[in-house]
């Protein structure tokens, strides 16, 4: 209690009779007019690399309670930090089953055959829908393992994440729905681009479709103007600011808006938006489609100071990351701890919530655990 009072003295937060609140009831106003928002990732990159949207006053977190804790909400549930989860709970994470059912063939209902990350959506015997992703041919187990492991970490911390499973199947497990825009030949070509074991078994990561209706990603600044429950600027939410600590720890350099998702869900007759972190393929030593780039975590894609210094010095000057020696483990990727410096860590491009992280925000996870 005493530290909380000191914090109150520091921030001058007004005290109410129900403080400190442990739950922020941000599901009480029925969401009726929300529209699906499509974020353009290139636009997001340029906007955040070359401008500073949101509140950058670096004030105290807006949604922390009078103890400095983060109340449970549609964004965050206190889990391991509140009371230690058991080993089985930690390894189970958000999962509610063992993944896609193998009792009947999986029916492919849509596919992504182009681009660098092939995959498809399946309908299993239980009627559940999963998005199936693969490892790069030269890095078996790397990105699927990284995604599932990181999912469990982020879940244990308290974030909303999808159910992600490691799954195995053979080609004859797959059937194509008439409406899926993929032919048998295209499917074969897709599977040629992914890792397959010698016994013909494919290892994949199956991400279960989230409950509710997707309404687009959330951004790391501002509030969603069509969500009445979203009143705290995202860059000032403590759990999003402090996400930087966990993102650094797990090298989640892809922690940007495009890898989040807002779902419109209905509970007790009311609709509200639930906010998810998604897509952890670029964590730990994995860069999703290749081992993590040595630059990742050290420097933004566009980072003017080091860029100009390199130009001006003919490349003689550089950051320490260029000297890091990574062990050669194809299934792990580029992962090391000797050079890792959490305070220096950066995602792929500026994240307003991370930039707003104060010492109190950074300390909050440590205090909770």
Q: Rank residues 303 and 344 by Cβ distance to other proteins and give the closer one.
A: 303
The least distance separating other proteins from the CB of residue 301, rounded to whole angstroms, comes to 5
When binding is defined by CB under 8 A, the residue of 10, 125, 201, 311 that contacts other proteins is: 311
The least distance separating other proteins from the CB of residue 282, rounded to whole angstroms, comes to 14
147, 281 Cβ separation under 8 angstroms: yes
Residue 137, both tokens? 């041919």
| Cα distances (Å, whole numbers) of residue 74 to 23, 263, 272 | 10, 10, 8
Chain positions 172 to 231 lying near other proteins, rule: CB under 8 A, are: 216, 224-231
Chain positions 221 to 280 lying near other proteins, rule: CB under 8 A, are: 224-231
Only one of the segments 4-12, 97-105, 142-150, 358-366 lies at the binding site for other proteins (rule: CB under 8 A); that segment is: 4-12
Q: Which residues pair with 272 in a beta bridge?
A: 265
Only one of the segments 13-21, 87-95, 156-164, 167-175 lies at the binding site for other proteins (rule: CB under 8 A); that segment is: 13-21
Helix (H, G, I), strand (E, B) or coil at 314: coil
Q: Which run of H or of E encompasses 112?
A: strand 106-112
Q: Rank residues 36 and 171 by Cβ distance to other proteins and give the closer one.
A: 36
d(CA 262, CA 271): 12
Only one of the segments 83-91, 179-187, 206-214, 292-300 lies at the binding site for other proteins (rule: CB under 8 A); that segment is: 292-300
Q: Rank residues 198 and 323 by Cβ distance to other proteins and give the closer one.
A: 323
d(CA 195, CA 138): 7
Helix (H, G, I), strand (E, B) or coil at 110: strand
Q: What is the DSSP string of 120-143?
A: EEEE-TTS-EEEEEE-BTTSTTHH
The least distance separating other proteins from the CB of residue 75, rounded to whole angstroms, comes to 14
Asked if residue 5 binds other proteins (CB under 8 A), the reply is yes
Please, how many CA atoms are within 13 Å of residue 254, restricted to the half-sphere of its CB?
Answer: 22
d(CA 332, CA 143): 8
Binding residues (CB under 8 A) for other proteins: these are 1-2, 5, 8-9, 15-19, 21, 24-26, 28-29, 33, 35, 37-38, 40, 42-43, 65, 114, 216, 224-231, 294-295, 299, 301-303, 306-308, 310-311, 314-315, 318, 321-324
């Amino acid at each position: 209690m005493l530290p909380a009072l000191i914090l109150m003295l520091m921030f001058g937060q007004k005290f109410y009779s129900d403080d400190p609140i442990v739950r922020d009831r941000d599901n009480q106003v029925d969401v009726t007019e929300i529209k699906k928002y499509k974020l353009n990732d290139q636009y997001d990159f340029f906007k955040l690399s070359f401008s500073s949207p949101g509140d950058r006053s670096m004030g105290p977190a807006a949604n922390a309670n009078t103890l400095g804790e983060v109340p449970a909400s549609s964004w965050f549930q206190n889990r391991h930090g509140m009371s230690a989860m058991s080993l089985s709970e930690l390894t189970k994470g958000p999962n509610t089953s063992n993944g896609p059912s193998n009792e009947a063939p999986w029916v492919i209902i849509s596919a992504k055959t182009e681009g660098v990350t092939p995959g498809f959506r399946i309908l299993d015997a239980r009627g559940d829908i999963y998005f199936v992703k693969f490892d790069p041919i030269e890095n078996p187990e790397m990105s699927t393992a990284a995604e599932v492991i990181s999912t469990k970490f982020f879940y244990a911390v308290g974030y909303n994440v999808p159910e992600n499973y490691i799954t195995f199947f053979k080609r004859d497990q797959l059937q194509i729905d008439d409406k899926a825009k993929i032919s048998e030949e295209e499917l074969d070509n897709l599977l040629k681009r992914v890792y397959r074991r010698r016994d013909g078994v494919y290892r994949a990561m199956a991400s279960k479709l989230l409950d509710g209706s997707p309404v687009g990603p959330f951004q790391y600044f501002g509030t969603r103007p069509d969500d009445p429950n979203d009143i705290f600027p995202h860059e000032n939410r403590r759990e999003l600011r402090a996400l930087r600590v966990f993102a650094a720890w797990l090298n989640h350099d892809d922690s940007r808006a495009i890898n989040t998702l807002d779902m419109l869900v209905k509970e007790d007759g009311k609709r509200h938006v639930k906010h998810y972190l998604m897509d952890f393929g670029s964590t730990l030593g994995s860069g999703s489609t290749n081992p993590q780039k040595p630059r990742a975590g050290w420097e933004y894609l566009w980072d003017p100071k080091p860029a100009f210094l390199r130009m001006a010095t003919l490349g003689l000057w550089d950051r320490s990351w260029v000297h890091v020696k990574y062990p050669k483990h194809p299934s792990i990727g580029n992962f090391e701890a000797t050079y890792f410096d959490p305070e220096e860590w950066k995602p792929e491009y500026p994240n307003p919530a991370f930039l707003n992280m104060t010492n109190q925000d950074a300390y909050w996870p440590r205090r909770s655990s």
